[in-house]
């Protein structure tokens, strides 16, 4: 059924064949041949995959946007893939909104992906050429931090990705040693610092890189520039990150030393929508560098590449172990924006991706961590293959969800900007879907199985041609020669042509069934075989039987081929699963170790905090206790000193303690009063003694007349004999002692002996009043009773 608009692929897919070299990893036999361009195009678009030394396998034909043969130069690739057009879309000329652009390479390890993207010692790659075009095209419209210092702050304010923005000057000074070193070209990819023993990650802090003095100048594109918006001002912001083991790591942020493991590590970043970018996911927290010219951007690129994970395998001496993303954000705003209070920047992003290559563990001779990495790489490429296979459907049916791009970070990063921005976020500006170009690289003499697999899922269309199998039927067909003999099978017409998806996406059952005949769904491919030729009228019945037999044989052959391919696919899937399992085991161990270390650290920290808290509490308690006991002892000492004289004998000990506990002030006042009273009594006692001692015996009254002695005058006069003088003096002395004793007793118990009103009065009266009262009593005794 015809669709309302022609299907458009999310990616334009180009194939680039790399020149043959005689390394051990290549088989030597060429299995790819390029079809001549058809009348509609100047450049070839089809290739045929011929299984080497294996006639049982089907011959497959693949269609691409364009095929670059071995002799294609970097400049050819640059021009024909339309990188300049992508750049122009990013610069958004003539006041337009512009378009994000993506350029990626995909292929088997060692097939020339990095060469295409990054170039070599003498040749520039797509990144350098694209940067050259950008800076040349912007020329006077470009702002940089040296000519406009507030630029850094201005870009920071309007960046939606929680990024750390640096001026190139500051960033490069922190990365490179000042003295320019001997030149190392951009292709001289150092061993990954994190993996290298000699150049450890700590070198990032302690040993800075040598600043390259020159970069390759070829191919020369000095004459090339694209349009920009003359009424706007621009800023170029560069960032780099890699996807390693399905996690995103910034390549421009140096690794930091983990407190737990003492190892240098990078912090994985999130790919998420942010507050200022609610409709689109972006990599959050990257370090971004504002570059004012091409040289600065190339130096930033070198710094990032230095941190990218690469290692030597038997397939490639500098094999990329991660998917590398190089992003050039071209920020744009109208020239009037500065006058109106530093209005925010808009702009578009050019992302250039150097994917890690798929590889077979057996061929690459990888083991351990590198094998696990390969498992992750293959897995992510398998998901990418599924997405590429579904891309036509997605654009045709307007159902982006058909592309299962959320299965891994790589496909999320590559595909999530392929679709127009969601309209549900009214505040967000509308964004055009990105323009994307994929350059598939292949070595025609390399690994047949790995290459054919990549071609199957990356090609825009595919035809499978069943091989002719020499058989008894064929012999039978050619043997009986009727008068007008039929042509041999080869002349009957085209063999059956089939096309089907190699990958079976989850939930899809139809893709497992071979589909027969017909043109490929994509209009990009033409049927390559001639239609059925005419036949002799004689022997038609015989011929139709033979044709039916031949078709049956062809069908069975194809089924056999399909099963063989399915087996091959299952085998490689198993290998990938095993590698994945290994990598997951490694990751689990790593995670477990990290969690254990985190737990230990946290536990130790908490323990320290608890210990400190406990010690403080203990100290406070001890101080309180000492203070408390000090007070107790003080009170006790005072009570010991005062109690015999001042404490009423009737007052129970518990009461006293209660007073002590409840109201120390009252108690102290009482104590003081008692002490004063005691002192006063002592003094008065002393005075009394002295008075008594100073009195003449004649003035003293007889003992019987004195009160309080229990013997009245009458009693002493009646009956008993008159005492002698000596007896009288003795009695007087005894009486005086008793009086003194009574006085002491009387004094201490005066409170209880007084009438209630007097008691109340004494309780509320001052010590002075009490003294007066006592004095009065004493005077009374002195005057009336005592003598």
Q: Which residues bind ligand ATP (CB under 6 A)?
A: 18-19, 107, 109-115, 120, 316, 318-320, 356-357, 441
Residue 615 marked as a ligand binder: no
Closest separation between CB of residue 209 and ligand ATP, Å? 21
Query: Based on CB atoms, which residue is closest to ligand ATP, 167 or 366?
Result: 366
Q: How many CB atoms lie within 10 A of CB 468?
A: 16
Closest separation between CB of residue 297 and ligand ATP, Å? 21
Give the Cα separation of 744 and 643 in Å (integer): 15
Q: Which residues of 589-623 are buried (b: 16+ CB within 10 A; e: fewer)?
A: eeeeeeeeeeeeeeeeeeeeeeeeeeeeeeeeeee
With H, G, I as helix, E, B as strand and everything else as coil, classify residue 319: strand
Q: How many CB atoms lie within 10 A of CB 186?
A: 21
CB-based burial label for 675 (10 Å; 0-12, 13-18, 19+): middle
Give the Cα separation of 317 and 109 in Å (integer): 10
Residue 770 CA: distances (Å) to CA of 669, 775, 777: 15, 9, 11
Count Cα atoms within 13 angstroms, Cβ side, for 642: 21
Give the Cα separation of 279 and 587 in Å (integer): 32
Closest separation between CB of residue 304 and ligand ATP, Å? 16
Query: Based on CB atoms, which residue is closest to ligand ATP, 73 or 775?
Result: 73
Query: Based on CB atoms, which residue is closest to ligand ATP, 119 or 467?
Result: 119
Closest separation between CB of residue 547 and ligand ATP, Å? 46
Q: Using the 8-state DSSP alphabet, how is residue 785 labeled?
A: I
Query: Based on CB atoms, which residue is closest to ligand ATP, 412 or 443?
Result: 443
Residue 146 marked as a ligand binder: no
- Helices 767-780 and 664-694: crossing angle in degrees, nearest 10, is 30
Residue 114 marked as a ligand binder: yes
Query: Based on CB atoms, which residue is closest to ligand ATP, 323 or 700?
Result: 323
Residue 108 marked as a ligand binder: yes
Closest separation between CB of residue 337 and ligand ATP, Å? 41
Closest separation between CB of residue 360 and ligand ATP, Å? 12
Residue 766 marked as a ligand binder: no
Residue 661 marked as a ligand binder: no
Residue 535 marked as a ligand binder: no
Query: Based on CB atoms, which residue is closest to ligand ATP, 25 or 137?
Result: 25
Show the CA angle centred on residue 122, arms to residues 120 and 126, nearest 5°. Answer: 55
Q: How far is CA 196 from the centre of its chain?
A: 24
End-to-end CA distance of the chain: give it in Å, rounded. 148
Query: Based on CB atoms, which residue is closest to ligand ATP, 33 or 593?
Result: 33
Closest separation between CB of residue 327 and ligand ATP, Å? 19
Query: Based on CB atoms, which residue is closest to ligand ATP, 309 or 706?
Result: 309
Residue 478 marked as a ligand binder: no
Closest separation between CB of residue 112 and ligand ATP, Å? 3
CB 44 within 8 A of CB 144: no
Closest separation between CB of residue 283 and ligand ATP, Å? 22
DSSP assignment of 723-753 equals PPHHHHHHHHHHHHHHHHHHHHHHHHTHHHH
Query: Based on CB atoms, which residue is closest to ligand ATP, 120 or 676?
Result: 120
Tokens of 526: 């033409």
Show the CA angle centred on residue 99, arms to residues 97 and 100, nearest 5°. Answer: 135
What are the binding residues? 107-114
Summarize the annotated binding site for ATP as residue ranges.
107-114
């Amino acid at each position: 059924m015809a669709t309302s608009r022609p299907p458009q692929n999310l990616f334009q897919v180009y194939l680039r064949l790399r020149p043959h070299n005689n390394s051990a990893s290549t088989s030597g036999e060429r299995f790819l041949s390029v079809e001549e361009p058809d009348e509609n195009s100047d450049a070839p678009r089809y290739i045929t995959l011929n299984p080497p030394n294996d006639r049982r396998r089907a011959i497959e034909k693949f269609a691409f946007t364009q095929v670059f043969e071995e002799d294609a130069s970097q400049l050819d690739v640059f021009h024909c893939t339309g990188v300049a057009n992508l750049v122009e879309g990013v610069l958004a000329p003539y006041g337009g909104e512009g378009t994000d652009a993506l350029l990626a390479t995909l292929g088997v390890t060692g097939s020339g992906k990095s060469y295409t993207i990054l170039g070599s010692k003498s040749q520039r790659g797509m990144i350098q050429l694209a940067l050259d075009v950008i800076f040349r095209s912007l020329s006077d419209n470009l702002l940089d931090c040296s000519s406009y210092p507030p630029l850094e702050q201005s870009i920071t304010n309007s960046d939606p990705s929680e990024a750390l923005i640096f001026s190139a000057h500051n960033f490069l000074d922190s990365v490179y040693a000042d003295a320019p070193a001997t030149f190392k070209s951009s292709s001289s990819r150092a061993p990954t610092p994190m993996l290298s023993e000699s150049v450890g990650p700590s070198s990032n802090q302690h040993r800075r890189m040598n600043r390259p003095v020159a970069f390759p100048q070829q191919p020369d594109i000095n004459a090339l520039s694209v349009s920009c918006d003359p009424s706007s001002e621009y800023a170029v912001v560069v960032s780099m990150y890699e996807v390693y083991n399905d996690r995103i790591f910034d390549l421009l942020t140096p690794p930091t030393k983990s407190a737990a493991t003492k190892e240098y590590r990078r912090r994985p970043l999130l790919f998420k929508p942010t507050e200022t970018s609610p409709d689109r996911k972006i990599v959050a927290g990257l370090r971004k560098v504002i570059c004012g010219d091409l040289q600065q951007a190339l130096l930033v690129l070198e710094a990032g590449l230095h941190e990218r994970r690469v290692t030597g395998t038997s397939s490639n001496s500098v094999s990329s172990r991660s998917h590398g993303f190089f992003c050039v954000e071209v920020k744009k705003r109208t020239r009037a924006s500065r006058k109106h209070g530093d209005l925010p920047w808009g702009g578009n992003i050019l992302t250039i991706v150097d994917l890690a290559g798929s590889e077979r563990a057996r061929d690459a001779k990888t083991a351990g961590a590198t094998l696990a990495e390969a498992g992750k790489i293959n897995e992510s490429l398998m998901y990418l293959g599924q997405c590429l296979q579904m891309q036509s459907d997605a654009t045709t049916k307007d159902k982006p969800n058909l592309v299962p791009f959320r299965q891994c970070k790589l496909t999320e990063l590559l595909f999530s900007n392929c679709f127009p921005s969601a309209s549900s976020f009214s505040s967000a500006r509308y964004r055009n879907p990105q323009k994307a170009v994929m350059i598939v690289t292949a070595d025609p003499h390399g690994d047949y199985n790995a290459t054919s697999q990549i071609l199957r899922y990356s090609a825009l269309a595919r035809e499978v041609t069943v091989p002719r199998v020499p058989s008894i039927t064929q012999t039978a067909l050619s043997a009986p020669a009727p008068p007008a003999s039929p042509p041999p099978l080869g002349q009957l017409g085209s063999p059956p042509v089939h096309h089907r998806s190699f990958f079976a996406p989850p939930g899809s059952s139809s893709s497992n069934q071979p589909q027969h005949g017909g043109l490929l769904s994509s209009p990009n491919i033409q049927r390559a075989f001639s239609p059925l030729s005419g036949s002799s009228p004689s022997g038609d019945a015989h011929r139709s039987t033979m044709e039916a037999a031949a078709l049956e044989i062809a069908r069975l052959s194809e089924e056999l081929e399909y099963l063989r391919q399915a087996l091959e696919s299952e085998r490689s899937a198993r290998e990938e699963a095993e590698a994945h399992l290994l990598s997951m085991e490694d990751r689990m161990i790593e995670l477990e170790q990290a969690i254990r270390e985190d737990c230990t650290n946290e536990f130790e920290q908490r323990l320290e905090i608890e210990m400190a808290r406990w010690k403080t509490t203990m100290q406070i308690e001890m101080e309180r206790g000492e203070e408390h006991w000090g007070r107790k002892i003080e009170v006790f000492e005072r009570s010991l000193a005062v109690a015999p004289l001042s404490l009423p004998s009737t007052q129970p000990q518990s009461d006293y303690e209660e007073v002590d506990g409840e109201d120390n002030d009252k108690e102290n006042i009482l104590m003081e009063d008692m002490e004063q009273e005691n002192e006063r009594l002592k003094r008065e006692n002393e005075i009394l003694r002295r008075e008594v001692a100073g009195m003449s015996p004649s003035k003293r009254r007889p003992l019987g007349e004195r009160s309080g002695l229990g013997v009245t005058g009458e009693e002493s006069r009646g009956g008993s004999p008159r005492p002698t003088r000596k007896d009288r003096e003795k009695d007087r002395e005894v009486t005086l002692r008793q009086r003194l004793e009574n006085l002491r007793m009387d004094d201490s118990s005066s409170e209880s002996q007084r009438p209630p009103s007097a008691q109340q009065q004494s309780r509320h009266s001052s010590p002075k009043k009490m003294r007066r009262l006592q004095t009065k009593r004493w005077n009374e005794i002195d005057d009336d009773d005592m003598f």
